[in-house]
Homo-oligomer: A and B are copies of this chain.
Amino acid sequence: MADSIFHFGAGKADGSKDMRDLLGGKGANLAEMSSLGIPVPPGFTITTAVCNAYAITDALPQGFTQELQQAVAVLEGAMQRSFGDTTSPLLVSVRSGAKFSMPGMMDTVLNLGLNSQTVKSLAAASNNERFAYDSYRRFIQMYANVVRGVDTRPMEELLTAVKKKSGVKTDADLSATQMRDLAGEFLQIYADVLGEPFPEDPWEQLLGAIKAVFQSWSGRRAKVYRRLHNIPDSLGTACNIQCMVFGNLGNDSATGVAFTRNPSTGARHIYGEYLINAQGEDVVAGIRTPQPIRQADAAGSGVVSMEESMPALFKELTTVCAKLERHYVDMQDVEFTIEAGKLWLLQTRNGKRTAEAALKIASDLVKENIIDKKTALMRVQPDQLEQLLHPTIDPNFKRTVLVKGLAASPGAGSGRVTFDADEAEKRSSNGEKVILVREETSPEDIHGMYAAVGILTSTGGLTSHAAVVARGMGKPCIVGCNAIHVDSKKQEFATASTTVKDGDLITIDGSSGEVMLGEAPLIEAQLDENLLQFLQWSDQHRRLRVRANADTPQDAQRARELGAEGIGLCRTEHMFFDENRIALVRKMILVEKDADREEILQKLLGEQRQDFVEIFKAMSGLPVTIRLLDPPLHEFLPHDAEGVSFLSKKLDFDSEWLRSRINKLTEFNPMLGHRGCRLGITFPQIYDMQVQAIVEAACEVEAKAKGSVLPEIMIPLVGAAEEFHWLQARAEKICKEVLAKSRVQVSCLIGTMIEIPRAALTAGEIAEHAQFFSFGTNDLTQTALGMSRDDAGKFLDRYIEIGIYKRDPFSVLDQPGIGRLVRLACEEGRAARGDLKLGICGEHGGDPSSVRFFHEVGLDYVSCSTFRVPVARLAAAQAGIAASP
Contact = CB atoms under 8 A, between A and B. Distances in A.
A585 to B, nearest CB: 19
A65 interface: no
Contact of A681 (B756, B779, B798, B816): B798
B723 A804 contact: yes
A803 B667 contact: no
Contacts of A802: 681, 722, 726
Contacts of A757: 757, 783-786, 817, 821
Interface stretch (A79-87, A191-199, A668-676): A668-676
A778 to B, nearest CB: 12
B674 A791 contact: yes
Contact of A816 (B756, B762, B782): B762
A761 B784 contact: yes
Given A726-B802, A756-B784, A761-B784, A719 B817 contact: yes
A719 B668 contact: no
A717 interface: yes
Nearest to A678: B795
A786 B791 CA distance: 16
B788 A779 contact: no
A253 to B, nearest CB: 52
Contacts of A765: 816
B758 A791 contact: no
A667 B795 contact: no
A758 B814 contact: yes
Interface in A149-201: none
A692 to B, nearest CB: 22
A472 B672 CA distance: 34
Given A672-B672, A723-B804, A791 B667 contact: yes
B719 A669 contact: no
A717 B785 CA distance: 10
A646 B755 CA distance: 43
Contacts of A820: 761
A64 interface: no
Contacts of A726: 802, 804
A368 interface: no
Interface string A699-737: 000000000000000000101101100100000000000
A805 interface: yes
A389 interface: no
A805 B669 contact: no
A177 B721 CA distance: 63
A790 B821 contact: no
Counting chain B CB atoms within 10 Å of each CB, the highest count among A717, A723, A787 belongs to: A787
Given A719-B786, A783-B757, A794-B673, A817 B682 contact: no
A756 to B, nearest CB: 3
Interface in A819-858: 820-821
Contacts of A788: 667-669, 671-673
Nearest to A673: B791
A577 interface: no
Nearest to A724: B804
A156 to B, nearest CB: 35
A269 B378 CA distance: 88
A328 interface: no
Interface in A664-700: 667-674, 678, 681-682
Contacts of A755: 786
Contact of A672 (B667, B758, B787): B787
Given A681-B799, A758-B817, A798-B682, A672 B786 contact: yes
Interface in A793-815: 794-795, 798-799, 802-805, 814
Interface string A733-774: 000000000000000000000011110011001000000000
A783 B817 CA distance: 14
A668 B717 CA distance: 19
Nearest to A719: B785
A314 to B, nearest CB: 53
B804 A681 contact: yes
A627 to B, nearest CB: 16
A191 to B, nearest CB: 34
Nearest to A819: B761
Given A726-B802, A799-B681, A804-B726, A717 B786 contact: yes
Contacts of A805: 720
A814 B761 CA distance: 12
Interface string A262-295: 0000000000000000000000000000000000
A616 B119 CA distance: 73
Contact of A761 (B668, B723, B783, B816): B816
B668 A791 contact: yes
A818 B817 CA distance: 16
A426 to B, nearest CB: 14
A762 B804 contact: no
Counting chain B CB atoms within 10 Å of each CB, the highest count among A717, A723, A762, A791 belongs to: A791
Counting chain B CB atoms within 10 Å of each CB, the highest count among A795, A804, A816 belongs to: A804
A828 to B, nearest CB: 11
A590 B186 CA distance: 47
B682 A791 contact: no
A639 to B, nearest CB: 13
Counting chain B CB atoms within 10 Å of each CB, the highest count among A755, A756, A758, A821 belongs to: A758
A791 B672 CA distance: 8
A-B pairs, 3 with minimum CB distance: A756-B786, A672-B788, A669-B788
